[in-house]
Amino acid sequence: MNTITAAITAVGAYVPDFVLSNQVLETMVDTNDEWITARTGIKERRILKDADKGTSYLAIQAAKDLIAKANIDPLEIDMIIMATATPDMMVASTGVFVATEIGATNAFAYDLQAACSSFLYGMSTAAAYVQSGRYKKVLLIGADKMSSIVDYTDRATCIIFGDGAGAVLFEPNYEGLGLQDEYLRSDGVGRDFLKIPAGGSLIPPSEDTVKNRQHNIMQDGKTVFKYAVTNMADASELILQRNNLTNQDVDWLVPHQANKRIIDATAGRLELDESKVLVNIERYGNTTSGTLPLVLADFEDKLKKGDNIIFAAFGGGFTWGSIYLKWAYDKK
């Protein structure tokens, strides 16, 4: 088979040591473990406490983990896509800094931002570069330091998010494995329902924006939940139909880890048994761009060559979609 497909050939991950449990949150805002667990499925999340470390630190550690496990030379990496909603700083690309810090000096790099769909969109982009035949090794990193934009007096958001990073390597495959199909969508109707109001060109930083906490993430939870449940499920169902797959053909569902009820609704629409749904939200919360690769890293032992995997995500903007991928290797 001479047709090039783009397959994931290695994964890496990193989460900070500090654990922010529901019990600790009970001392910070008016909430409790039972309420958080029932509505989100989250028990704890990891937080990068170091004030002098940003998203790049998480990304570098995840990339180094992948490089060590796959035993590859960073100089062989052709390009790096940095999926993140919390770059270290405006203008200066976080991905470029990460590439230099891991020794991938032959790679070009850039950031990709689509909120919680960033990594899913990045999978499409990385695969397209590989399938073009121009690039052999594309490193896709999903990382976010969500604690840097969360208001820890706002119980609607502070219970949800955590910090973390994951990375995957896309390489050419000639066995028909790797990315098979994608359905990616967006709708600007979501602009006002999940956002950081200030800090961009529309509302530049000022003394007032800081005082009014306009640099923290804000969301209309009920509206976001409604759109997420419908669109993640619709996209995943369409991918199955378009590829003549039944629920019996699906080996694993890898959903964005935003809310256990959203995950359950998506799995329910596909009529998938719970054993086929990969979930780690109880330990990490929503790490935004980090959720999908962290799931892959946590469950890498279960993934077998040829497995049919359905990825699904939903994020601010709104952005969403689903990807069908055939797994390319058995973990050694």
CA proximity to 228, closest of 281, 192, 265: 265
Predicted pLDDT of residue 1: 54
> What is the residue-wise DSSP string for 23-37?
HHHHTTSS--HHHHH
pLDDT tens per residue, range 155-168: 889 999 999 999 99
Task: Answer left, alpha or beta for residue 7, where phi above 0 means left and psi between -120 and 50 means alpha.
Answer: beta
Phi and psi, residue 43, nearest 5°: -110, -35
Which is catalytic among the residues 158, 173, 256, 259? 256
Q: Are 246 and 218 in contact (CB under 8 A)?
A: no
Strand partners, 184: 321
Q: Which of 168, 174, 170, 149 is nearest to 160 (CA)?
A: 149
Q: H or E segment at 324? A: strand 319-326
How much is the CA Rg of the chain, to the nearest whole Å?
19
CA 42 to chain centre: 16
- The rounded distance, in Å, linking the Cα atoms of 229 and 312 is 11
pLDDT digits (tens, 9 = 90+) for 94-138: 999 999 999 999 999 999 999 999 999 999 999 999 999 999 999
Amino acid at position 126, single letter: A
Which one, of 218, 208, 61, lies nearest residue 143 by Cα? 61
Q: How is the beta sheet containing 138-145 ordered, strand by strand?
A: 5-14, 163-173, 138-145, 79-83, 108-112
pLDDT 10s digits, 302-332:
999 999 999 999 999 999 999 999 999 998 8
How many helices (H) and strands (E) the chain has is answered by 11, 13
Instruction: Please tell me the predicted confidence (pLDDT) of residue 211.
Output: 95
Does residue 259 carry a catalytic annotation? no
Establish whether 256 is a catalytic residue: yes
Judge whether 167 and 142 are in contact, CB under 8 Å: yes
Kindly state the DSSP code that residue 202 receives in the 8-state scheme: S
Global pTM reads 0.97
Which residue in 22, 116, 158, 173 is the catalytic one?
A: 116
CA neighbours closer than 13 Å in the CB half-sphere of residue 23: 1
Distance CA 32, CA 159 (A): 10
Q: Of residues 22, 216, 231, 286, which has the active-site annotation?
A: 286
Closest CA to 238 of 262, 269, 263, 278: 269
pLDDT at res. 327: 98
Give residue-wise pLDDT tens across range 35-88.
Answer: 999 999 999 999 999 999 999 999 999 999 999 999 999 999 999 999 999 999
